[in-house]
Structure 1
Amino acid sequence: MCYDIAFTTKIESIFKIMPLLQTAPGANLQFDATYHKIGMSYPQWPIVVNHEGPQLALFNWGPIPKMLNTPEKVKRQRQMFLNARSEKVLEPKTLWNAIRTQRCLIPVTGFFEYREVPGLKNKVPYYIKSQEQEVFFIAGLWALSNSWDVDKPERIPTFSLLTRSANNVMRQIHNGGDNAGRMPMMLTNELAEEWIKPDLTDTDIRDVLQYEQPSDTLQFWTVNSVRKAKPDDASVIAEINYEGLPPVTV
């Protein structure tokens, strides 16, 4: 699953992609470029929602469902809700189906995944981005969550990132673990605008979620592990060569 994302440019670039985008009332959009954020740190991230038009605000990654009703449960289980399978959005009696009208967009410049390679002890990390545009959108769902913070008892806006079955390139990269063969639910700019329209029917939602990002539109290369502490700078996505690594075919 996708737990590692990047936004390596200025937040103003999102407004260039969506000319009608407005800053959400009262929103503080102070957000510095970052080469890596891990979902398990539950960071704030710029999120596009539609409240009488597209608006940008900072949400925390990782909803806290009502079932997580103690700080201990939040600590143990919140990471299970960082991502959501797109197939669950239209599955009755699921959390994601219940909030399917609360759709959002997650702007990123890239994301990271790990590849299992026979003969290598450790998985090989890759950085993946769009060849066609610096910033692209991933489909998501948002929810107001209990913060469980005694200093901030109010409910906080949170989001979950949608994933789908992987295309050919991502099947080769994300090829191990319990959630092998998945990738973020990347959208074209046109589908991104469609995704946050308030009047989508379930059929419309299904149509958007059937989109598969073509393999030949992805750019990818191997990097150092992003799960080790390092400066938040361009060295995070610098290409690193791994000897004897079989190629990923497009």
Structure 2
Amino acid sequence: MCWDISLHTDIELAKAIFKTVRDERYDFDYNYVYFENVQAITFPKYPIIYKDKEGSGLGLIEMEWGGLPTYLKDPKEQADRRRNMVNVRSERILEDHKSYWYRLRNQRCLIPVSGTFEHRKVNGWKKKVPYYIGEAGRELFFIPGLYQWHEMVDEHGEIHKVESFGMLTRSANDVMATIHNDGPNKHRMPLFLPEDLEKQWLNDISEEEMLPIFNFEMPSGALEAYPVYTLRGYPERPDGKRRYEPFGWEGLPPLGQDSPQQSLF
């Protein structure tokens, strides 16, 4: 699954790119150390740009990561199911008109990121190697998603508005297939897009016009990917650098060659 992203770029850049966007954020503490590695499966609050379904334009707002399965009432069952809804398989959105995501197909958003993370398995290594992946030459880019609004009643009878979203994914291109090479959802990647398709995702488009977006495969050469030190844990890097900066793993074989390198001497 595509669960880890990085936002170490100033979010104000998103407002410079989408000049008409309304800033609807609350007083939110943007701790950029925390945002260096955001884990979607913890359902964090995260800034997105959404297309108002009422047609009043674009808004920049914080929503919880992870679609909310409102058809489930048991909190534990809902949380368990929600972990599988942080990602949205783009290929399936239009397949089943009775599906959850099909109903949200016109509630579209963009997720601003500096880059994403994924783990690679190397045969014989105890732990997987984390990689950082970004779009080459872009300080900030946007991954398409779907969002929802929902009202919930707590145990005191008070109504709370829940705003949540999921990130679109697709089958991996060549370079991502060699990184995300293990696990039950291997060979998947976020739906990386060029700038024109990012903006088209927020336009008023038909289902037929969505298909070229879902089918777009980012060329491997348009991505930059390199190993980093660690994810989902906070040990100090021995070199003192930031979480998203490159780290040199001794003996790490090239991508596509998953057996450790052996000395000839």
Q: Same fold (TM over 0.5)?
A: yes
For residue 114 of structure 1, what is the aligned residue in structure 2? 119
Residues 237-248 of structure 1: pairs in structure 2 closer than 5 A = 237-248=244-255
Residues 141-160 of structure 1: pairs in structure 2 closer than 5 A = 141-145=146-150, 153-160=159-166
For residue 3 of structure 2, what is the aligned residue in structure 1? 3
Q: Structure 2 residue aligned with 1:55, among 37, 59, 78? A: 59
Q: Structure 2 residue aligned with 1:196, among 176, 199, 202? A: 202
Root-mean-square deviation (CA, aligned residues, Å) is 2.0
How far is the alpha carbon of 1:234 from its aligned partner?
5.5
Q: Retained in 1: the 8 A contact 2:6–2:244? A: no
1:68 aligns with 2:68: no
CA distance in 2, matches of 1:247, 1:21: 42
Q: Retained in 1: the 8 A contact 2:143–2:190? A: yes
For residue 92 of structure 2, what is the aligned residue in structure 1? 88
Alpha-carbon spacing, 1:148–1:73, altered in 2? closer, same or farther (3 Å): farther
TM-score (norm 1): 0.91
What is the SS of the residue equivalent to 2:243?
Answer: helix
Alpha-carbon spacing, 1:148–1:167, altered in 2? closer, same or farther (3 Å): farther
1:175 aligns with 2:181: yes
For residue 17 of structure 1, what is the aligned residue in structure 2? 17
Unmatched tracts of structure 2, length 5 or more: 257-265
Q: Which has the larger radius of gyration?
A: 2
Alpha-carbon spacing, 1:142–1:230, altered in 2? closer, same or farther (3 Å): farther
TM-score (norm 2): 0.86
Q: Structure 1 residue aligned with 2:145, among 123, 129, 140? A: 140
Counterpart of 1:168, as a letter, is D
User: Bigger CA drift: 41-50 or 237-246?
Assistant: 237-246
Q: Retained in 2: the 8 A contact 1:230–1:236? A: no
How far is the alpha carbon of 1:229 from its aligned partner?
3.0
What is the SS of the residue equivalent to 1:126?
Answer: strand
CA distance in 1, matches of 2:107, 2:17: 21
Unmatched tracts of structure 1, length 5 or more: none
Q: Retained in 1: the 8 A contact 2:64–2:163? A: yes
User: Bigger CA drift: 78-87 or 221-230?
Assistant: 221-230
CA distance in 2, matches of 1:31, 1:214: 36
What is the SS of the residue equivalent to 1:187?
Answer: coil
For residue 263 of structure 2, what is the aligned residue in structure 1? none
Counterpart of 2:17, as a letter, is I
What is the SS of the residue equivalent to 1:183?
Answer: strand
CA distance in 2, matches of 1:147, 1:230: 38
What is the SS of the residue equivalent to 1:113?
Answer: strand
Counterpart of 2:192, as a letter, is M
Deviations 1:10-48 (A, max 9, x none): 211101122222223xx3263513201101211111111
What is the number of residues matched between the two proteins? 245
How far is the alpha carbon of 1:235 from its aligned partner?
2.4
For residue 260 of structure 2, what is the aligned residue in structure 1? none
What is the SS of the residue equivalent to 1:154?
Answer: strand
Alpha-carbon spacing, 1:149–1:40, altered in 2? closer, same or farther (3 Å): farther
CA distance in 2, matches of 1:146, 1:224: 40
For residue 218 of structure 1, what is the aligned residue in structure 2? 223
CA distance in 2, matches of 1:216, 1:31: 35
Q: Structure 2 residue aligned with 1:102, among 98, 107, 110? A: 107
